[in-house]
Amino acid sequence: MPPTSGRWPTALPPRELRRIPTALTLRRVNLHVHPTPDEANAAAADLLAGWLTASNTRTIMVAAGNSPLDLYSRVAARRLNLAHLTVFALDEYVGVPLTEPRNCANLLRRTVGNAWGIPTEQFHVVSSERECALESVRDHERRIEEAGGLDVLILGLGQNGHLGFNEPGSAFDSPGRLLELEPISVEANRSWFNGEHAPTHGVTVGMKTVLAARRILLLAFGPHKSTAVSAMTGGPITPICPASSLRTHADVSVFLDTAPAAGATPA
């Protein structure tokens, strides 16, 4: 169980309670625990390949970051015909140059768009330019809605329980938006960019879009994700841990190695 004080409390102040939907159907996520990240990614690739090639899968949203890169590579290695898919990026760093190869758009364009053979006009990202980011993500969500919503969503898990850049405190019905990032996320960004950038703001699709996806696959590896996994699977359902909302979703598959799985509540 998560700690009773700090990031994920056992009780919420009244204002936070009002932001939780009043009629939630609580479920348990499907946990897949493997000895190593390599084995977890192999199993996740088997599941994802089936989802992507299903006749009713047309739209997919993908996350950037370290966790899903091996998964994307394994899917690419299968040389599946995925040209029918429309792909959307989950989020983006704000204030990072458009030409930066490690921003979400460029990373995902290489590892998913190009690697999976997605037609250019079917690959959609949000802008990292501060003056364009908010309108960009609003257009992004409108495009998703016009496409009929998301069939598949790939997520990582932040150390503070965030999904995309939906930081702690994000309402479960929140829209796409630009927001200030918590210090732990800023430091993760600094590490990702090898100290060259440390963006303090991000732009992300909202929790409303995340939770409306028909199928969700989440990856979390390493001991530094253990507390977040514990809160996600067994703590209170609260915006203070956005990932806890996944227990209200009908079809979530979580792939872990043994380190973060230590505190998980079994499905």
Question: Are residues 144 and 185 in contact, defined by beta-carbon separation less than 8 angstroms?
Answer: no
Residues marked as catalytic? 91, 160, 162, 167
Phi-psi domain of 222 (left: phi exceeds 0; alpha: psi -120 through 50; beta: other): left
- Asked if residue 19 has pLDDT above 50, the reply is no
Specify the pLDDT at position 6: 33
Q: Return the ∠ at Cα 51 (arms to 136 and 84), rounded to 5°.
A: 60
Phi, psi of 241 (to 5 degrees): -125, 90
Specify the pLDDT at position 10: 30
pLDDT digit string, tens, across residues 65-122: 889 999 999 999 999 999 999 999 999 999 898 898 889 999 999 999 999 999 999 9
CA distance 205 to 159: 19
- Domain segments of the chain as ranges: 43-261
pLDDT digit string, tens, across residues 25-43: 567 789 999 999 999 999 9
Query: Residue 12 — pLDDT band, cuts 50, 70, 90?
Result: very low
Specify the pLDDT at position 189: 82
pLDDT digit string, tens, across residues 165-201: 999 999 999 999 999 999 999 898 888 888 888 889 9
Specify the pLDDT at position 13: 37
- Asked if residue 60 has pLDDT above 80, the reply is yes
pLDDT digit string, tens, across residues 203-244: 999 999 999 999 999 999 999 999 999 999 999 999 999 999
pTM of the model: 0.88
CATH, domain 43-261, list 3.40.50.1360, 3.40.50.300, 1.20.1440.120, 3.10.310.70: 3.40.50.1360
CA distance 44 to 251: 14
- Asked if residue 17 has pLDDT above 60, the reply is no
Query: Residue 18 — pLDDT band, cuts 50, 70, 90?
Result: very low
